[in-house]
Structure 1
Amino acid sequence: MSKIAFKMKLNAGFKEEYKQRHSEIWPELRDLLKRKGISDYTIFLDEETNILFAVQKQEGATSSQDLSDDTVVKKWWAYMADIMETNPDNSPVSIPLTEVFHMD
């Protein structure tokens, strides 16, 4: 199992809306992520910059950012597109981060 991290950008003023939408994450999206080996998925917000920092564990090479062909993922992206920085296909602009330190 590996751990990956990436960052995204939330539009200003949407912290509570982002939290609300994720507190009601669709069961079919949660099930898809688990089936694909994605677990221990956490997203943090830097309120000064509106940068979202995400970290997740994954089995194999598939992360949540690799599920662009799935209908449920496309619907989730469309649902979230109005409150965050996105690409033309509604996927969040996601920038991989390099691990530079880890302590067990």
Structure 2
Amino acid sequence: MQRIGMVIGLNADKVAEYKKLHAHAWPEVLAMIKACNIQNYTIFLREPENLLFSYYEYTGTDYEADMAKMAADPKTQEWWSVCMPCQKPLDTAKEGDWWTEMEDVFHLD
């Protein structure tokens, strides 16, 4: 199992919209997440800084292939099209990054 942590900014004027979207996440998108071997997926929000932190566990054997499968899914693309305007990459994000991966420095089972 691989643990993944990522961070991104959230536009201040989109906080309520983002919360509402995720309170009613689309079943097709949730099914695709599971089909791509992701479990224990959680998104945390830190206000007033408006930082989103996501955590999930990847249980598959080919992360890149599963992420490509998810990215190719039309319903997931539609979901991203409504969520992405709410988000903003960190100023320190690498070129082409949206969510910025974080280093796993400690874990206790």
Q: Please, what TM-score do these two structures have when normalized by structure 1?
A: 0.82
Shift of 1:65: 5.7
CA 1:47–1:63 in structure 2 vs 1: closer, same or farther (change >3 Å)?
Answer: farther
Match of residue 68 from structure 1: 71
8 Å Cα contact 2:29/2:76 also seen in 1: yes
Percent identity over the alignment?
Answer: 31
Q: Distance in 2 between matches of 1:85 and 1:70?
A: 22
Match of residue 89 from structure 1: none
8 Å Cα contact 2:10/2:52 also seen in 1: yes
Note the residue ranges of structure 1 that are not aligned, 5 or more in a row: 87-91
- Give the residue type in structure 2 aligned to 1:48: P
Match of residue 101 from structure 1: 106
Q: Within 5 Å, give how 1:1-104 maps onto structure 2.
A: 1-60=1-60, 61=63, 66=68, 67-85=70-88, 93-104=98-109
8 Å Cα contact 1:11/1:50 also seen in 2: yes
Aligned to 1:13, the other structure's residue is in SS state helix
Q: RMSD between aligned alpha carbons?
A: 2.4
The structure where helix makes up a greater share of residues is 2
Q: Distance in 2 between matches of 1:102 and 1:48?
A: 27
8 Å Cα contact 2:37/2:66 also seen in 1: no
- Give the residue type in structure 1 aligned to 2:106: F
8 Å Cα contact 1:33/1:64 also seen in 2: no
8 Å Cα contact 1:68/1:74 also seen in 2: yes
Deviations 1:33-70 (A, max 9, x none): 11111111011111132110000011122598653222
Note the residue ranges of structure 2 that are not aligned, 5 or more in a row: 90-96
> When the two structures are aligned, how many residues end up with a matched partner?
100
